[in-house]
Chain A
Amino acid sequence: MIEPQAAPAAEPATGQALVEAENLKVHFPITSGLFQRTVGAVRAVDDITFDIRKGETLGLVGESGCGKSTTGRALIRLRELTDGVVRFDGVDLTTLKRDQLRKMRRRMQIIFQDPYSSLNPRMTVGSIISEPIETHNLASGRGKLERVKELLALVGLNPNYTNRYPHEFSGGQRQRIGVARSLAVEPEFIVCDEPISALDVSIQAQVLNLLVELREQFGLTYLFIAHDLSVVRHISDRIGVMYLGKVVELGPPAAIYETPAHPYTRALLSAVPIPDPRAERRRKRVILTGDVPSPANPPSGCRFHTRCWLYERLGRPENCRTDDPELRIVQPDHRAACHYAEDAMQSDVGVAHIGAEPIKRKAFGAGPGAHKPVADDSVPATLVTGVAPDEGTGGGTGGSGTGGAAPPE
């Protein structure tokens, strides 16, 4: 079947944009009183501009409520825009008629966070997956059933499970069903909205590997939304960091994780727990105080100034309170929205993970004595099985979590 492959796309994305967001705004009205008068707005997404290149995975991180899901939905027009433009393959989605939009939708899909509520409990797995096939008249009769079976096998489920119901599956398996459904229409672009957040640790890696394999096989473009920075780093070609409805930093993983230019990104990095006791003890943390302010009433100037450690260190410069910083280029292909991005880049906050010798451990499942476990019938895992130890026997270097990794450049 599919060979295990490196996580980032083997061929880096071409420069051509598949999805473009221009001055995207999504506001939700706040109403009050008997007549539901509008008294304000939650500025969930507030004027953001970015693009997603063909074949690339753009990671989107940020704290809950910062607008990640709203952005993802607006890109495929599952949410009406308050303002701005979204283009897909050059076509402005905001001007499309209903029918044209329906055709276009076939090319973009979404996978949700919660594998429990996103599948209709009264439908069999077969009908869940064939629904989009019918909607778009892609196959019928025998052909449809064959296609459903093919899709189940593709996501590592037993193809004979078409008559089972969602409750008969575990969380990870349900997420695979969701993936199969979204693949049914052969999309080019998939919004993955926290697809592994609700899963158990040992299952997260399985689903993550599956998404990577499918991406390689079908040349998919992903918007990968997550709050876990280690996961996003693993899967993304570029990463956007959001705070209170804004994209505050955008760039490739090396830029975001090694020379982060926004104080918020650095604070996030310093807060991520590292599963290495020694690394954890070495770290110096910047702990942000306070909570994220309300998106209905964001702070003036730079929205992060109420929690910004750099603002404090610099003696609370006035422009942070008065001028909203633009997302500007700080290095080639690396943008940040901070008046003092250059100072942020000079600091050592949030980059303790660099240059540190990672914990040394022999690779799991490799080496003498290891074999492929006998798969139990209730645990169909055709795709995830046979994670062949790629470094063979012996030293046990390389691979995830083992020593011998070169220090990041």
Chain B
Amino acid sequence: MTATDDDRRVDPGSPAVAELPDTEKLPEAVSLETEEGRRLAAQLADEKARHARKLLEVRDLSTQFFTKDGVVHAVDRVSFELDYGETLGLVGESGCGKSVTALSLTRLVPDPPGKITSGEVIFDGVDIMKLSSEEMRLLRGKRIGFIFQDPMTSLNPTLTIGFQIAESARLHLGLSNRAANDRAVELLSKVGIPRARDRMGDYPHQFSGGMRQRVMIAIALACDPMLLLADEPTTALDVTIQAQILELIRSLSDEFGTAVILITHDLGIAAGMCHRVNVMYAGQIVETGVVDDLFENPRMPYAWGLLDSLPRLDEERGSRLRTIEGMPPDLIHVGDDCRFAPRCPYSRDICLEDEPQLTEREGPDHLARCWGTEPGRAWIE
């Protein structure tokens, strides 16, 4: 059987949050005399407050690993925001700090050797750096779901699938065994596992890679999170199975209004899934923008070169691929320069002397870290 996917995605650019009714007009709509009315009013006020802020605000986040070779600047003064319900891509090549960024947001960086050395992470109005470990654990379980590249490393091979999903619901939602079990069955069928009730007693090895990833998604969604952190969720899967899993993440995030941070090295996936994309290079965000804008008009040479080096299905065949020369730098010896300079065909003296900052380009939504396109001194057209 097949499913056809029509244009179901939200218009990128407009955050995927439902239009909210105006609380000022409330008295005409509902009566505050009734309990129901007061509850509704409180709920609307709460949603309105949320609407005004972001789900996630990250400021100047730095994470370092203290190794015998030196200090690895894995995440270096990273700042970005995420709206409620928004899907944000985090792209860049191996070792550029995508996973460590995700781990830092949830305070899961292995310590030692790692340490968050600076920065603020405000999640749904709460400064998570100020939480106790116990509060942090609760927040992770209830509000943030994880999906990783290799589901086998995060599933327990000795426990049944059903138990592992129900466990999450039991722990974080305080459901009874029976209710948690029902919730697990419901989630399993929701993520597209046929005959869900019969498969509850199966172990992870009895599932294929794609089905294990579905189970991971079910576990991540068990407590109805506000944010889904998906770190290369389809990299280990075949392209037809990848399409299934991406479609599942997309439809579930639409249905539940879950925000998603999607880590991927596949720019095609980012193009199809994300409202906005952060491009990372050597531990820093080097460009961020709404997908259409970023893909059409990249303002930082690394992001640009990456986009241009891809062979595409829909272009004329036979042209020689453009390449970015050289390799990314190691993250121990970082200096006050543009980290892309040794590979950049547009570099000038200033690029080696001074570090460019992430600044606005065409509008407040498009930021780039590059002297060559910095307003006022730009030399790249």
- Report A's interface with B, CB cutoff 8 A: 4-8, 63-64, 170, 172, 200-206, 208-209, 212, 227, 229-231, 233-234, 253, 257, 267-282, 284-289, 291-292, 309, 312, 353-354, 356, 358-365, 367-376, 379, 381, 384-385, 387, 390, 398-402, 405-406, 408
Determine whether the beta carbon of B307 is less than 8 Å from that of A401. Answer: yes
Q: A292-B238, A400-B320 are in contact. Are A381 and B211 (CB under 8 A)?
A: no
* A361-B308 contact in complex given A7-B320, A374-B342, C-beta closer than 8 Å: yes
Residue interface mask B259-280, A partner, CB < 8 A = 1:
0000001111111100000000
| B324 with A202: CB separation less than 8 A | yes
The 11 sampled A-B contact pairs (Cβ below 8 Å) are A8-B317, A200-B94, A268-B239, A280-B268, A285-B243, A363-B322, A373-B345, A384-B323, A387-B322, A400-B320, A405-B316
Q: Are B313 and A274 in contact (CB under 8 A)?
A: yes
- Asked whether, in the complex, the Cβ of B314 is within 8 Å of the Cβ of A279, the reply is yes
| Complex Cα gap A406–B339 (Å) | 37
Contact B322 A399 (CB under 8 A): yes
Determine which of B12, B315, B318 lies in contact with A8 in the assembled complex, contact meaning CB atoms within 8 Å. Answer: B318
Q: Which of B143-151, B159-167, B298-306 contacts A (4 or more CB under 8 A)?
A: B298-306
Report how far A224 CA is from B207 CA in the complex, Å.
31
Inter-chain contact B2/A400, CB cutoff 8 Å: no
In the complex, A284→B297 CA distance in Å?
26
Q: Which residues of A contact B301 (CB under 8 A)?
A: 364
User: Are the CB atoms of B305 and A291 closer together than 8 Å?
Assistant: no
Residues of A with C-beta under 8 A to B296 = 359-361
Binding site for A on B (CB under 8 A): 1-7, 9, 12, 93-94, 192, 208, 210-211, 238-244, 247, 265-272, 291-292, 295-298, 301, 304-328, 342-347, 372, 379-381
Pick from A6, A200, A356, A381: contact of B318, CB below 8 A: A6
Q: A202-B93, A376-B326 are in contact. Are A274 and B314 (CB under 8 A)?
A: yes
With A and B bound together, what is the CA distance between A288 and B372 in angstroms?
45
Is A406 touching B243 in the complex (CB atoms < 8 A)? Answer: no
Point out the residues of chain A lying under 8 angstroms from B244, CB to CB.
287-289
Closest chain-A Cβ to B127's Cβ sits at a distance in Å of 34
- Bound form: Cα–Cα A354–B314 in Å: 6
A172, A230, A273, A285 — most chain B CB neighbours (10 Å)? A273
User: What's the Cα separation between A243 and B272 when bound, in Å?
Assistant: 26
Q: Is the CB of B308 within 8 A of A400?
A: yes
Contact of B313 among A63, A206, A257, A361 (CB under 8 A): A257
Q: Are B326 and A234 in contact (CB under 8 A)?
A: no
The complex places the Cα of A255 from the Cα of B306 at a distance, in Å, of: 29
Note all chain B residues with C-beta closer than 8 A to A361. Answer: 295-298, 304, 307-308
Whether A269 and B305, one on each chain, are in contact in the complex, defined by CB atoms closer than 8 angstroms, is no
Which of A5, A257, A364, A379 contacts B322 (CB under 8 A)? Answer: A364
Q: Are A276 and B325 in contact (CB under 8 A)?
A: no
Please determine whether A231 and B311 come into contact, CB atoms closer than 8 angstroms.
yes
Q: A63-B238, A201-B265, A233-B313 are in contact. Are A398 and B94 (CB under 8 A)?
A: no
A362/B381 contact (C-beta < 8 A), A354-B314, A400-B321 known: yes
- Known contacts being A202-B323, A288-B240, is A353 close to B305, with CB within 8 Å? no
Which residue of chain A is the closest to B6 with respect to CB atoms? A284
Measured between beta carbons, the chain A residues less than 8 angstroms from B321 are 7, 205, 208-209, 234, 400
User: Are A359 and B211 in touch, CB under 8 angstroms?
Assistant: no
B271 contacts A277, CB within 8 Å?
A: yes
Contacts of A356 in B (CB 8 A): 314
Q: A408 touching B295 by the CB < 8 A rule?
A: no
Residues of A within 8 A of B315 (CB): 358, 400-401, 405
Cα-based distance from A398 to B320 in the complex (angstroms): 11
Residues from chain B with Cβ under 8 Å of A204 in the complex: 309
Q: Tell me whether B320 and A271 are in contact (CB under 8 A).
A: no
User: Do the beta carbons of A364 and B327 come within 8 Å of each other?
Assistant: no
Do residues A398 and B319 form an inter-chain contact, with CB atoms below 8 A? yes
Asked if residues A229 and B313 are in contact (CB atoms below 8 Å), the reply is: yes
Closest Cβ of chain A to B17, distance in Å, is 19
Indicate which residue in A272, A360, A369 contacts B239 across the interface (CB closer than 8 Å).
A272
* Chain A contacts for B316, CB-based, 8 A: 405-406, 408
Instruction: Specify which chain B residues have a CB less than 8 angstroms from the CB of A274 in the assembled complex.
Output: 268, 271-272, 312-314
The 6 closest A-B pairs by CB, nearest first: A273-B268, A353-B314, A280-B272, A405-B316, A234-B311, A364-B308
A172 touching B313 by the CB < 8 A rule? no
